[in-house]
Chain A
Amino acid sequence: EPEVTQTPSHQVTQMGQEVILRCVPISNHLYFYWYRQILGQKVEFLVSFYNNEISEKSEIFDDQFSVERPDGSNFTLKIRSTKLEDSAMYFCVSRGNNEQFFGPGTRLTVL
């Protein structure tokens, strides 16, 4: 069964550093998303991406965040200057029909 993959599984960084989280969505899917989940809190929508551009973004997705599909298969989330409050699990999601399939997540720890 096709699945979403994410790398790395765990990323530790210093406050102010840039991080790039990578995802390989399910092939033939057209819609891609990033969500995050701070420890003990609900899953939160960050951004949706379709046809090589952002379709929708939440209030969380400010100028420090950016997304890209550089080569037609990978899908990346970049945080330019990390803050302590960016520590969370980040999930890449791939959508087929109306069902959103989550990847295993990248645990980002900002020190």
Chain B
Amino acid sequence: EDQVTQSPEALRLQEGESSSLNCSYTVSGLRGLFWYRQDPGKGPEFLFTLYSAGEEKEKERLKATLTKKESFLHITAPKPEDSATYLCAVSSGGGADGLTFGKGTHLIIQP
């Protein structure tokens, strides 16, 4: 059974204070690792897909990296509008399989 564990559960940073969110996973054959952003009462918003260890992707102040056991979402010089819950999910096997999500990291950026 696929498992995804995210840490920390919550993180409060000052504006401009960089940090990283962790996603540890256990899967039988990783097909893809996904990062989403979720605002309260909204659907998850797609950020990145990573496919293999060593891969990195960037978007504005966010950078996602992947190893064989975990992924990091690095946030550089965050702004208050980056406040959200960040979700990690994995896809394994083949075909139209569903994603297994972690509980998320609730990020608050204080001005």
Name A's B-contacting residues (CB within 8 A).
4, 31, 33, 35, 41-50, 55-56, 58, 91, 95, 98-105, 107
Contact = CB atoms under 8 A, between A and B. Distances in A.
19 contacts: A31-B96, A33-B98, A35-B99, A42-B102, A45-B99, A47-B98, A48-B97, A50-B95, A56-B95, A56-B97, A91-B44, A98-B31, A98-B32, A98-B51, A99-B49, A100-B34, A100-B46, A103-B43, A104-B43
A105 to B, nearest CB: 5
Contacts of A35: 98-99
A98 B99 contact: no
A70 to B, nearest CB: 19
A49 B96 CA distance: 8
Interface of B: 31-32, 34, 36, 41-46, 49, 51, 87, 89, 91, 95-104
A4 B43 CA distance: 10
Contacts of B31: 98
Contacts of A41: 103
Contacts of A43: 44, 87, 89, 99, 101
Contacts of B91: 98
Contacts of A48: 96-98
Contacts of A45: 98-100
A91 B43 contact: yes
Given A42-B103, A43-B87, A43-B89, A102 B98 contact: no
Nearest to B98: A45
B98 A56 contact: yes
Contacts of B87: 43
Contacts of B51: 98
A98 B103 contact: no
A100 B99 CA distance: 9
